[in-house]
Structure 1
């Protein structure tokens, strides 16, 4: 636990996801992200989704990402704490009647579940991703490219105590040398503004410096979601039809 809020990302397992954005995509064929971008303004309101009482940050992030994608491709999904806890139980075995079962989530395991089964929204509808790719930890430009192409990126960090203090004070997350690590946390990057990434955590948007990402990021994932697309294209006009087909052919995790 950190302050009045929870963490809940299990330690990163390097190599757990074999398909990597850096080796799959050809940068020369891709657009250069602008200085400011993001579609987070389309989302009505982010929700806490239980992450103040249990360590379901990976699940809350998955729902936040799906909220953004569906707000662009069709209509924003309904979410609730109950839906988040159902997903948390399905993926990790969490039992609300047994506090000891609240052990957090492995993002790589959750990514596989999201592709094969899909997370459920407040209406019980499943939302599956088409594929997922690992990003290079701490690589700011790769994160920006993934965010620009796919609308949202799941970011895992080793969470320092200073970040909770900064969050509570309404300050951007930045590196405070020597601050102790309190655990792992999963957050959803949704925009780029003022030279910082904008992430969603604990129901709010939070700015994060590039230095913070470089220092504390230990795993990140780009997700290919059909629900983000209209006529096979992202809002920026990137055609992902062939990419989806290629990834589906090589992704089995």
Structure 2
């Protein structure tokens, strides 16, 4: 897969009140592969081929996967994606307003106001951040919470790559940034070698990226405490009450 759609993640604007996952999760990184995304038959584009709404597409993909695992899939319609994106300045018919959004702003809006998904108002209970360089933390977050909402900067070289990876001798043109993008991690292999990968959802499809690529291009990572995520045992090492109490500062 190459670049098949629009970008739209604005630079991270970290709020110091957002809790760190490591302060609330006692679980350790799993030793085997994680394959939550395999349960989903197909992923919607969520307008991200035409609009820079990747941050809202990430919401749509997360909700879809949580529902599939929990037994009640709901898909965010294009109209609902557009309505969500309008909160962040987009005005239909005005291309200049299609400027993207900040990930933490989108997650805060999902927490406080909710997004309409499949005709139903949907809210999360909490969210927390992971340091991008904390590979074990990303694995743990994926294992415990089912997905990790990621922010990356795409370099030009990914245009021609089936698996996103850092080339051995990239030119200056290869390294030129295309822009910020939001993707949702739903699968991962343990980082045991240079070919070990995360699998993310982007532009209506699964995309493999090496862990080395994530370390080079990843800028932010967040886990989401969603009421649909009821996988038995996955949340046993999580102080959910503490995470949710920390959210009161954001409200």
- For the criterion TM > 0.5, the same-fold answer is yes
Query: What stretches of structure 1 move > 6 A for 4+ residues in a row?
Result: none
How many residues get paired? 238
Tell me if structure 1 keeps the 8 A contact 2:3–2:158.
no
Q: 1:47 aligns with which of 44, 47, 52?
A: 44
Q: Give the stretch that moved more between structures: 210-219 or 132-141.
A: 132-141
> RCO (CA 8 Å, sep 6+): is it higher in 1 or 2?
2
Consecutive unaligned residues of structure 2, counting only runs of 5 or more, are: 190-194
Q: Distance in 2 between matches of 1:55 and 1:16?
A: 26
Matched, 1:222 2:223: yes
- For residue 207 of structure 2, give the secondary structure of its aligned residue in structure 1: strand
> What displacement does 1:14 show?
4.0
1:1-253 correspondence to structure 2 within 5 Å: 5-15=5-15, 18-26=18-26, 30-90=27-87, 92-121=88-117, 123-166=118-161, 171-176=162-167, 177=170, 178=172, 179-193=175-189, 195-229=196-230, 234-239=231-236, 243-251=239-247, 252-253=249-250
Q: Classify 1:103/1:191 alpha carbon distance in 2 versus 1 (closer, same or farther; 3 Å).
A: same
Q: Deviations over 1:142-195 (max 9, x none)?
A: 1111000000000001111112321xxxx1110133421111000000011472
Alignment RMSD: 1.9
Q: Classify 1:43/1:146 alpha carbon distance in 2 versus 1 (closer, same or farther; 3 Å).
A: same
Consecutive unaligned residues of structure 1, counting only runs of 5 or more, are: none
Tell me if structure 2 keeps the 8 A contact 1:159–1:182.
yes
Tell me if structure 2 keeps the 8 A contact 1:59–1:87.
yes
Q: Distance in 1 between matches of 2:14 and 2:152?
A: 13
> What displacement does 1:15 show?
4.5
Q: Classify 1:134/1:32 alpha carbon distance in 2 versus 1 (closer, same or farther; 3 Å).
A: closer
> What displacement does 1:236 show?
4.4
With normalisation by structure 2, the TM-score equals 0.88
With normalisation by structure 1, the TM-score equals 0.87
